[in-house]
Amino acid sequence: MSSVAEVKTGRALRRRKLPLYYPVMFVVPAFVIYAVFFIYPTVLGFYYSFTDWNATETTIRFVGLAQFTEVMRNPDFVIALKNTFLYAAITTIGKNVIPLLLAVLLTMGMRSRNALRAVYFSPAILNIVAVGLIFQGLLNPHTGFVNNLLRSMKLDFLALGWIGDPSLSIYAACLMEIWRASGITMAIYIAGIQNISADYYEAAEIDGATAWAKFVHVTLPLLMPAITINVLLSVIYGARMFEGVYFLTQGGPGNSSEVLMTLVYKYMGQGLYGYSTALNLILVLLIILISMPLLSYLTKKEVGG
């Protein structure tokens, strides 16, 4: 009897409609927090990018597009823009090609695959500041481990400037980011491959497909959702990179490895708040202009897309 009464009570409770203020109690505080910490700073930043706000003057004047014209004429901006595109392109390729190959190998039947997955993923859990210090110790032109090892092997001609050479510093920063973040994309690719039904591979084997043919015609098409996520995140993160470049090269030597975010930080430190905000807005617009068409293109490549 008690169980019947409990069932009836449960049904009655389910039929009872919640008061209107119940959802409001959750939605309104969430919206207020979102508005205060995201919408308001975004709108304010958009406004300040059209002003001459700086640390030396007490008044803030609206200057319109003149701020952006000045940014475009800045030679440091041209260098930072080129380095940003270069950094985003190289790290996106490196953080997807290498992890994809690792994911394919580590989903095979080798006994040590779980241990190897942990090893390859481990750099991703390190703090970016610590990674920058590690690579400074490795790539220092004079006292770095890499050059000392090469010299001890009588390979002095390979002991390059790495982070001290203006022509190599941006590539050293790219190498560091690929090493640090490849584990994350590898994990996503492993999850994607494991979700592919074995029936597809069995059907391909019956048709006499080689391992390469199965990879190209089965794995890649069915892995496109994971590829879309990884490529898009890599492009966005690469375009807005600050910590990795700053803690490894500080944008140097000179401005040879300067990217847009380090340039924003540089001018913000000089008290040119409106100018640095305009730079940041340009970066946001560039990310949108690149990521939206890229997302559309990759989505169309997905099976059934």
* Ranges 1-10, 141-150, 294-303: which has the least confidence: 1-10
* In a domain? residue 17: no
User: Per-residue pLDDT for 230 more than 80?
Assistant: yes
pLDDT at 12: 53
* In a domain? residue 244: yes
> pLDDT by residue (tens digit) across 58-81?
888 888 888 899 989 999 999 999
Q: SS3 string of the chain?
A: CHHHHHHHHHHHHHHCCCCCHHHHHHHHHHHHHHHHHHHHHHHHHHHHCCECCCCCCCCCCECCCHHHHHHHHCHHHHHHHHHHHHHHHHHHHHHHHHHHHHHHHCCCCCCCHHHHHHHHHHHHHCCHHHHHHHHHHHHCCCCCHHHHHHHHCCCHHHCCCCCCCCCCHHHHHHHHHHHHHHHHHHHHHHHHHHCCCHHHHHHHHHCCCCHHHHHHHHHHHHCHHHHHHHHHHHHHHHHCCCHHHHHHHCCCCCCCCCCHHHHHHHHHHCCCHHHHHHHHHHHHHHHHHHHHHHHHHHHHHCCCC
**Position with higher pLDDT, 31 vs 258:** 258
* In a domain? residue 155: yes
* In a domain? residue 41: no
* In a domain? residue 62: no
Q: How many structural domains does the chain have?
A: 1
What average pLDDT does the segment 93-97 reach? 95
> pLDDT by residue (tens digit) across 231-283?
999 999 999 999 889 889 888 888 899 999 999 999 999 999 999 999 999 99
What average pLDDT does the segment 36-51 reach? 87
Q: What is the CATH number of the domain that holds 97?
A: 1.10.3720.10
pLDDT at 1: 47
Q: Do residues 97 and 182 make contact, with C-beta atoms less than 8 angstroms apart? A: no
Task: For residue 245, give its domain range.
Answer: 69-301
* In a domain? residue 157: yes
User: Per-residue pLDDT for 106 more than 80?
Assistant: yes
**Position with higher pLDDT, 263 vs 26:** 263
* In a domain? residue 27: no
* In a domain? residue 279: yes
| pTM, rounded to two decimals | 0.86
